[in-house]
Amino acid sequence: MDKQTSVLKTLLPVFILLLLVLSATTSLIVFTSFSRSYRSTIRKNLVDQIRIIQMSLPEGPVENNTEAIRSIVNQYRTFETHHLTIMRFNGDVIADSRNEAWHRMNQVNQPEVASAINRSDHIGFFVRKDPDTDRNAFYLAKQIRDDNGNIRIIRVGIPGSLMVAGLPGVIGLIVLASVIVSIAIGLFTFNICIKPVNIMRQHADALAGNVNDKWKVRNEQTAELEKLGQSLQRMVKRFRDHLERETEQRKLLETMFRSMVDPVFVVDKHSQIQRYNKAFVKLLHIETHDISGRPVLEVIRSTKLNGFVEKTLATLLPVEEEIDFHNHYDLFFKVTGVSIDGGDGTDGTVIGAMIVMNNVTRIRKLERIRTDFVANVSHELKTPITAIRGFVETLLDGAVNQPEDATRFLKIISKQVNQLQAVIEDLLSLSRLEQEKTGNGNNLEPIQLVHLFQSAVQMCDSAARERNISIEIVCEGINIAVNRTLLLQAIINLLENAVKYGATNSVVNLFGFVKQNAVLIQVKDSGPGISKEHLERIFERFYRVDKSRSRDMGGSGLGLSIVKHIAQIHGGTVSVQSVPGKGSVFTIELPVTLLSNLPMNNQCDDSATNDSDSGAT
């Protein structure tokens, strides 16, 4: 095996080279800083010189003091390296310490003079070439004003060679000192620092996934790194196996969390949402998905839910409560909260909580429907039974011996019995309809829709004649496969309502036609109409717009509910459009798939050939 060298011998030359580069960089920074500092010092000195010169200048207009000004400038000639110029505000030279001809020319275009005229501090400072020496020089011009308001410009210049004098020696000393100190520090700290740094770097690469299981240091000249690499290879493999298992478990938990159909969210100890699933956003109709880090009360305007979260965070025991959300489409949830312990489970430190919201809205609505149904049935049965009982007791008390009263009472009892029988029959019909399977095709038979209309009109003819109401059929030639008995009952229910509540001496229209892939059956009356607040509930069981009037006319309150169920059995729907005072239009919409392949009849019959023909009067 070849002789191996240590890390120190391998990397030390590179390290020293880096230190030399660092020293050169440091020297450059020092030189730049020194230059800026020196420029600042020069500027300050020139400002001070101009201030002294200003104090010696005579007051008054230039024309009266030209000789005195030139005398002061001539005294300045003793400083061969300095250049003094005094000029008017427009740049015309009054006196110059250098008496060359060009110095007596207008100086307003010189950068330092222009800056002194235009700048707010009235000072211009520039480094430019001196035309006499062709070398860089510092020039500072300042605008001054005496007590009489006379404005002059004083300019002072010194050669730039004064700035660089001595700098090479200083810079050389700095570089030499930097190199010596850097090498000394590098040799002292290399063995202490380089090994921990290498180990930490290899660890970081391994943990970041940049090192695979086959990773190995193959540089045989570095014994330390080869041995260290072998140890780290084993450690990284064990860590990666553990990390893969943790990652799989985390993905599994994340998938379970997000696929839960019930809303679930996690909060920290400050009641701020940290995690949530899709059901939480969708079911509670949250507008924005960016809700992480926001308080529960800000996301869901529910003081009940916010109080439940705070209660959960205050205890280590599970908390259960039922919460309703009337601002979110009347939703009901059985909410379970479990706090998250940040310690080992015994110190009582709560760092957050998980809230699971089980949607029980359908169960509660069914319970409410059942309660309402029992109450309505009891009321509907109790009313005629109470009336029957009262009149029977009256007859037993002696009214039976009075023929006229007895006959009247018996007629009332008969009417109440008929009402009771109608309620029971409608309840039985509704029960049978609810047991039917929607769209299962049972008992469907092809018929001509107009024949069904004629049968329904015939059944309602007697009641229509009593109120002098005409029922008109308007129908296209439609063959349709339906449960004839059920659909006939639905049409009769709609026609009976139209006759009962329609205006006397009016017309009820019965339409049948195909529109937009649907078969429509419409009953239009000219009755009092239905207010908007009743339209959504009018197909509920026992719901009446005018309860007293409906009972007087013998209605059970189940007719429209039966129509709705019959339409659903055929895979269709029922709806109503109404304007108070202008009548109502009830529409049964059946899927076009129910259309039969029987030969179409171009004419429904004599009653359907003309829009004005009537089926019954």
Determine the average pLDDT of the residues in 150-170.
Answer: 70
State whether residue 344 is helix, strand or coil. coil
Over residues 542-564, the pLDDT tens digits come to: 676 665 455 455 556 677 888 88
Question: 611: pLDDT confidence band, cut at 50, 70 and 90?
Answer: very low
DSSP one-letter code for 600: P
- Asked whether the predicted pLDDT for residue 488 surpasses 70, the reply is yes
> Higher model confidence: residue 473 or residue 205?
473
- Asked whether the predicted pLDDT for residue 463 surpasses 60, the reply is yes
> Residue 409's pLDDT is what?
79
Q: What's the chain's average pLDDT? A: 76
Determine the average pLDDT of the residues in 105-129.
Answer: 86
> Residue 617's pLDDT is what?
30
Determine the average pLDDT of the residues in 145-174.
Answer: 70
State whether residue 599 is helix, strand or coil. coil
Over residues 256-308, the pLDDT tens digits come to: 777 788 888 999 989 898 888 888 887 777 776 678 888 988 888 888 889 99
- Asked whether the predicted pLDDT for residue 233 surpasses 50, the reply is yes
Distances (CA, A) of 245 to 213, 238, 242, 492: 16, 11, 5, 69
> Residue 608's pLDDT is what?
34
- Asked whether the predicted pLDDT for residue 419 surpasses 70, the reply is no
Distances (CA, A) of 408 to 87, 327, 384, 399: 133, 54, 16, 10
State percent of the chain over pLDDT 90.
Answer: 9
Q: Write down how long the chain is.
A: 617
- Total-model pTM: 0.42
> Residue 482's pLDDT is what?
87
What is the Cα–Cα distance from 300 to 306, expressed in whole angstroms? 8
Half-sphere exposure of 216 (CA within 13 A, CB side): 4
What is the Cα–Cα distance from 319 to 337, expressed in whole angstroms? 5
- Asked whether the predicted pLDDT for residue 322 surpasses 60, the reply is yes
Question: What are the b/e assignments for 566-577, b being 16+ CB within 10 Å?
Answer: bbbbbebebebe
